[in-house]
Structure 1
Amino acid sequence: MTLNRYTYTHNNPWRFVDPSGHMPVWSLRLISETYDSGVVADWEASMMVFGGNLALGNGKHPSVYTPLHEIAQINVSKKLYEMTGQKPELEKSLETGETELFGLLKKKYEADIVLGNEVWEVKPLNGEDPKPQLELCKKIGGLTEGKQLKPISGISVFDQIKMEITFPNKGEAIYGMYIQNDNGTRTTLTTAAAAAIIARGLVKMTPAGRRFSPGY
């Protein structure tokens, strides 16, 4: 990697770019397929996502927020797969019709979850409004908002930290974080609080965990 940095983009930097420094899309999809197969439990899939961002991310300080987003993605994907028998596409590339890099590259947008002609955008609770991105997907991809699903709760993320995903409107997958207490009660966490706890836990687990920070 230090001698030939094009290797990171499969020796084709004109076609493959990674401006965010997060793990490659193919890695997220592979984890999702493994999770769908039932080979790993939810907590194992979550750790695979954290590990993938540490090992394959290109940034020195990858954010914990990105893995939380991706954990939500693979859990919605699994739910759809169980319901339909069809595998959704994560981070589906949609061409905007615009160009960048002096007109040499086609500008693209990645939709979070696509199944057939339906799309779902993943957002944290109290985060950005997903509607503008859904409208963009409809405009440039000819997609329609995905159906509302029943909530997915009890997703093991890290230690006692859990995730719940709700679908308040069509095409919206909103994830929230909480701690499952020993007495069965819940303690609600903001995304920032959950990220901070997870970051500290990763630091304790492995030296590589020190590369994580709650934010950039």
Structure 2
Amino acid sequence: MTADGVSSTAYVYDGNNRLTEETKTVGQSSETTHYSYDNNGNTICKYTETISPATEGQTTEAYISAAGAAEEITSAGTDYIGTGFPETASPETPLPETVPEITTGQALSLEAQTADTGTDESSNEVNNDNSVTINEYNGLNQLVKTVTGDITAEYTYDGNGLRASKTVNGVTTNHIWDGDQMVLEIDGAGNVSNKYVRGINLIYAGEGANRRYFLYNGHGDTAQLTSTTGSSIKVYEYDAFGVEKNIDPEDTNLFRYCGEYFDKETGTIYLRARYYDPTIGRFITEDSYWGKDSDPLSLNLYTYCENNPIDYIDPSGHMPVKMLRNYFNLYRTGKINRDSVAKQILLMNIGNPYVGFHEIAQIFVGDKVAAKKSEVTLEYSIKAINDKGKTIKYEADVVKTSQFGKYVWEIKPLNGKDPKEQLELYKEKGDLALGPTYSDISGIKILSVNNIFSNDYTLYMGINFPEKGVATYYFYSVDEDGKTKELSTAAAKRICEDILFPMFYPIPMPMPMPLPVPVP
């Protein structure tokens, strides 16, 4: 990928189509970011080496020591960014946590300032140091007004909770949505101010000479804007949590980190349910989902992507449980069909297909057991007091409440962990009965695979109910000749990673006239 005819970016991928090197070259200087992965495809190390004539490859790393003092390390050509290990180190010698900004080839200075951050009664961030920011919220805990210095912004929302408009110092912009994606912006006089054309990602914005095409990096961030002729207009770089490097205050593009909407007036990213502040790496309001004791990172209600923004994105501003229930309701009410709900759940969990598989099974089990005059809850919350007087929370996969009582189903992959211990716990702590068995669910389409070396095939999920309170999901494929093949859960995961990841995050390639890419 070439920008402005001066700088260029080259990408290297391994045999599993995972990004391993990203080299950015400007003149005689270059910066190469290396990525390494574990056996499950998770990013375990990211580091950058910088080479320039002025520094002869020396880089400076800033970090905070265990004693709280600012420290720095100068090394010959290797600059470690984020968490991970250097090539020459062992896992027993992890790097110290780094600060967001790394300065190369210059004297490094760190300036600490005391923050004075307060919260209102709803635990929302209401001010910070230097310039005081005052935030106002409505009864639904939605941000409706924010004042910082001489900038005042006001926001309104529609019945679905999406932002309907924003007014900054008296200038109003109305948002028009297609589902949960913004497609138009209209000014206060009713004129279209921005038009957004989408496929899997945002393809282009604007019209005529003002049309800008979007190119993305492997994380889904806007990496470059191009004109209709393919020439570069703007190049973007971010740190892991989305802080934009060399930000241009005159930049009119609003879709940047993770391809999401950036509010210039506040420096936050609008993620539908909440606002994310990349400078502090967290949301400014609490999550409505209180997390799970079995997942400690979910218990911090302000955390962004469980502090792992390299592997995950959070386009909804909610934890997965909220999204899961929303998709279940959409499917139950006929607003999204059978194939689409499975595909959307899988895409929302592209960083971890195992979670996607489990949630797809939850939706279809919940739909199967639902009946008239009953209520089905996914991730049913159970609270109990232990011997020490502490409140313990559990979440049961699927619970149906009817006039006859409450029934529970625990969902596992074929040959997965025995659910009996969990079910006994739910019966005791939640006063739940084991749900009855049902006929099998088959033909849940996960994705279609075009195989250039053999027959095309379709990956399916099936679900059976082997005993009371238990639902088991499994996978199989059917090729174009109708031949069926059983697949393990691990094999299904690998197929999804190989097919979906490169389609959802395509390799950035400048092109004169990008065309919509069909959703896989």
TM-score category (smaller protein): 0.7 to 0.9
Residue of structure 2 equivalent to 1:168: 466
Provide the residue aligned with 1:97 in structure 2: 385
Q: Would you say 1:17 and 2:313 are equivalent positions?
A: no
Match of residue 111 from structure 1: 396
TM-score by length of 1: 0.81
- Alpha carbons of structure 1 residues 8 and 208: separation in structure 2 relative to 1, 3 Å: farther
Deviation by residue 1:48-92 (Cα, 9 ceiling, x = unmatched): 2123335xxxxxxx32101000000000111123x4463410001
State the partner residue of 2:487. 189
Q: 1:32 to 1:135 in 2, by over 3 A?
A: same
Q: Secondary structure at the match of 2:349?
A: helix
Equivalent of 1:31 in 320, 327, 352: 327
Separation in structure 2 between the aligned mates of residue 139 and residue 203 of structure 1, nearest angstrom: 42
- Larger CA Rg, structure 1 vs 2: 2
Kindly tell me: are residues 43 and 8 of structure 1, through their superposed partners in 2, closer, same or farther at Cα, counting changes over 3 Å?
Answer: farther
- Per the normalisation by structure 2, the TM-score is 0.35
Once residues 85 and 182 of structure 1 are traced to their aligned partners in structure 2, the CA distance between those partners, rounded to angstroms, is: 42
- Larger helix fraction of residues: 1
Structure 2 match to 1:49? 345
CA distance in 2, matches of 1:99, 1:179: 49
Distance in 1, Cα, partners of 2:356 & 2:286: 21
Deviations 1:123-177 (A, max 9, x none): 0000001111111100100101100010000111122110110001000000001
Change (3 A) 1:208 1:5: farther
Out of 86, 89, 93, the residue aligned to residue 374 of structure 2 is: 86
Q: Determine if contact 1:93/1:108 at 8 Å carries over to the other structure.
A: yes
TM-fit CA distance, 1:203: 1.6
Letter of the aligned partner of 2:422 in structure 1? Q
SS in 1 for 2:467: coil
Which residue number in structure 2 is paired with residue 198 of structure 1? 496
Identity of aligned residues (%): 36
Partners of 2:342 and 2:444 within 8 A in 1: no
Q: Are the counterparts in 1 of residues 361 and 473 from structure 2 also a CA contact under 8 Å? A: yes
Amino acid at match of 2:504: T
Hey, what's the Cα distance between the residues in 2 that align with 1:123 and 1:162?
16
Counterpart residue type for residue 479 of structure 2 = N
CA drift at 1:113: 0.1
Unaligned segments of structure 1, at least 5 residues: 55-61, 210-216
- Look up the equivalent residue of 1:42 and give its one-letter code: R
| Code of the aligned partner of 2:459 | I
- Separation of aligned partners in 2, 1:8 and 1:150: 44
Decide which moves more: 178-187 or 159-168.
Answer: 178-187
- Counterpart check, 1:140 vs 2:429: yes
- Cα distance, 1:208–1:167 mapped onto 2, change above 3 Å: farther
The 3-state SS of whatever aligns with 1:46 is helix
Tell me how far 1:204 sits from its aligned partner.
2.3
Report the CA distance shift for 1:5/1:178 in structure 2 as closer, same or farther (over 3 A): same
RMSD of equivalent CA atoms: 2.6
| Structure with the largest fraction of strand | 2
Q: 2: CA distance between counterparts of 1:8 and 1:25?
A: 17
Q: Is the 8 A contact 2:440 2:462 kept in 1?
A: yes
* Aligned AA (1:115): K
Q: CA deviation at 1:106?
A: 2.8
SS in 1 for 2:291: coil
* Distance in 1, Cα, partners of 2:341 & 2:353: 15
Letter in 1 for 2:488: T
Aligned-partner Cα distance in 2 for 1:121–1:146: 9
**In structure 2, how many angstroms separate the alpha carbons of the residues matched to 1:157 and 1:42?**
10
Equivalent residues of 1:42, 1:157 under 8 A apart = no
Structure scoring higher RCO (CA < 8 A, sep ≥ 6) equals: 1
Kindly state the Cα deviation for residue 208 of structure 1 after the two structures are TM-superposed.
7.8
Q: What is the distance in 2 between the residues matched to 1:75 and 1:29?
A: 12
Contact kept in structure 1, 2:386 and 2:392, CA below 8 Å: yes
Partners of 1:189 and 1:44 lie apart in 2 by 22
- The AA in structure 1 aligned to 2:413 is P
Match of residue 5 from structure 1: 282
